[in-house]
Structure 1
Amino acid sequence: MNDLDLALAERLADAAGAAIRPFFRKPFTMEAKADLSPVTEADRAAEAAMRRILEQDRPDDGVIGEEYGADRPDAARVWVLDPIDGTRSFVAGRPIFGTLIALLEEGTPVLGAIDQPIGRERWLGVRGQPTTLNGAPVTTRSCATVGQAHLATTGPGYFTSNSWTAFERVRVAARDTLWGGDCYNYGLVAAGHLDLVIEDGLKLYDFAALVPIVEGAGGRMRDWQGGVLHAASAGQVIAAGDPALIEQVVAILG
């Protein structure tokens, strides 16, 4: 990972945003995928725009995208793209979706971007460096116990019956719970406005970009067993602004 990769991530975010903005709160085509989640022409246009850049500038790197699948996924360096994380929010005209861009090296997330193209908010995280929001460093906030934590999750429909039971134990213990938000919640953790995000059923393109962002701001991201997140992680994710919360949450989830 180097400064050229970071500059490339910004170019990818610019291209995705330029593809998305003309469709926001305007007519567009939409269909349901096999899992019944929505996909719009904005999703596809944004991923296609990013892939064109990668094909030209990084032809030997791998690419994994939500809409167009995987090319060279076993490469040492892989770009992971989610053109619109939070498509339901996009469809409803809610500007809390985001484009997610990650770079994995040997399966480990080393660079991540959350780009909200309507509000023009961009979080950038690089392993070993401070996370920034629109160029300014951001930090998570202290929260010593789950009982003090402001918790967020996208929605109950993403959990299995067993994982929902486990999540409910944390929800009851937490100070309060915010529903909805997708990747935007993780940006709010990094910026010190939320304390905790817990989710199940995420794919690599849903969480890879978030790890360097949360951790570069002073937080921590782990799976439900407390393990480090990587390309083969199952998609049960904890993001904590205060690293002290991870052990507590893992214990409550059981």
Structure 2
Amino acid sequence: MTEFEAFAVDLARDAARVTLPLFRSDIGHDDKGGAGGFDPVTEADRQAEAVIRRRIAERYPDHGVIGEEYGADRPDAEHVWVLDPVDGTRAFIAGLPLWTTLIALRTAGTPTVGVIAQPYLDEIFVGGPSGARLLRGETETPLAVRACERLNDAVIATTDPDIFTGSELGAWTQVRAAARLARLGCDAYAYAMLAAGRIDLVAEAGLKPWDWSALVPVIRAAGGAVVNWRGQAPDDGGQILAVGDARLIDQALVTLRRAAL
């Protein structure tokens, strides 16, 4: 692994030492959604991001940070870490082991290193310049997407159809109707399974930079692709299409492009 890849893995393990003792405990949660709907946050979110930020400041004081819980610090730096300490807080609250810790490093604005970690399952999916691999304990397994030429044969996923609004929902519904199998409720873990060759396509909308930045290097290093609903590089519009087989992009965009921002 490169220096930054190894450091991202270390950050994920530091976060796990905070989040795991709080998982399936009675820590409670706050709602930061207000009139915008239920948007829970727990002490696991806050404490884990604080630990990660402290480690980054100690190791790379000239790097920037963008995090879900504590905002942006030097977001225009050449190297910027993008953090979601608990992606899938609803799953965390419900005791479901499908939440993840997402850690990305952007270099000159482009995600170059990514980690998707699920500590309860002892899984760290890491991707970057040296490739993509799954770490479980002392074992490293290469990650590789699988071939899937036709959308009709694809296993697809999204977190919840409620994330789609207006024409987005209609677009997703048509993609789902064309696919062989659709799974819901996996949050960022679905992208890890795409990199591992178990899922073929994930489509989502309304994502923030900390929701999607980490998955890009993991999926690309595993041989997949991540684009927005216009078929371009992911952006702040928050519409993401991730595929294991690039041949699925145009098939999905036939529908998704109609709702692209």
TM range (shorter): over 0.9
Select the residue among 231, 241, 248 that pairs with 1:238. 241
5+ residue gaps, structure 1: none
Select the residue among 74, 83, 87 that pairs with 2:85. 83
Select the residue among 175, 189, 192 that pairs with 1:187. 192
Aligned partners of 1:190 and 1:217 also within 8 Å: yes
Aligned runs of 1:21-40 on 2, under 5 Å? Answer: 21-34=20-33, 35=36, 36-40=38-42
Residue of structure 1 equivalent to 2:156: 151
Aligned partners of 1:223 and 1:233 also within 8 Å: no
The amino acid across from 1:233 in the alignment is: D
* Secondary structure of residue in 2 paired with 1:144: coil
Select the residue among 41, 44, 57 that pairs with 2:43. 41
Matched, 1:214 2:219: yes
* Secondary structure of residue in 1 paired with 2:120: coil
Structure 1 residue 192 displacement after superposition: 0.6
Cα distance in 2, alignment partners of residues 116 and 126 from structure 1: 18
Cα distance in 2, alignment partners of residues 80 and 126 from structure 1: 15
Residue of structure 1 equivalent to 2:228: 223
Cα distance in 2, alignment partners of residues 169 and 136 from structure 1: 35
User: Sequence identity, in percent?
Assistant: 46
Q: Deviations over 1:2-34 (max 9, x none)?
A: 822112111110110000011111110310013
Cα distance in 1, alignment partners of residues 20 and 69 from structure 2: 18
Cα distance in 1, alignment partners of residues 15 and 21 from structure 2: 11
The amino acid across from 1:213 in the alignment is: V
5+ residue gaps, structure 2: none
Residue of structure 1 equivalent to 2:250: 247
Q: How large is the RMSD of aligned CA atoms in angstroms?
A: 1.1
Matched, 1:92 2:94: yes
Select the residue among 145, 148, 162 that pairs with 2:167. 162
Cα distance in 2, alignment partners of residues 121 and 15 from structure 1: 14
Residue of structure 1 equivalent to 2:181: 176
Cα distance in 2, alignment partners of residues 142 and 195 from structure 1: 8
Structure 1 stretches of 4+ with a deviation exceeding 6 A read none
Aligned partners of 1:64 and 1:80 also within 8 Å: yes
Aligned partners of 1:167 and 1:198 also within 8 Å: yes
The amino acid across from 2:208 in the alignment is: K
Structure 1 residue 245 displacement after superposition: 0.5
Aligned partners of 2:5 and 2:127 also within 8 Å: no
Cα distance in 1, alignment partners of residues 204 and 125 from structure 2: 20
Stretch moving more, 3-12 or 36-45: 3-12
Aligned runs of 1:64-143 on 2, under 5 Å? Answer: 64-127=66-129, 129-134=130-135, 135-143=140-148
Q: Deviations over 1:90-126 (max 9, x none)?
A: 1000011100000001110000000101111000000
Select the residue among 38, 49, 52 that pairs with 1:50. 52
Cα distance in 1, alignment partners of residues 128 and 3 from structure 2: 12
Residue of structure 2 equivalent to 1:4: 3
* Secondary structure of residue in 1 paired with 2:30: strand
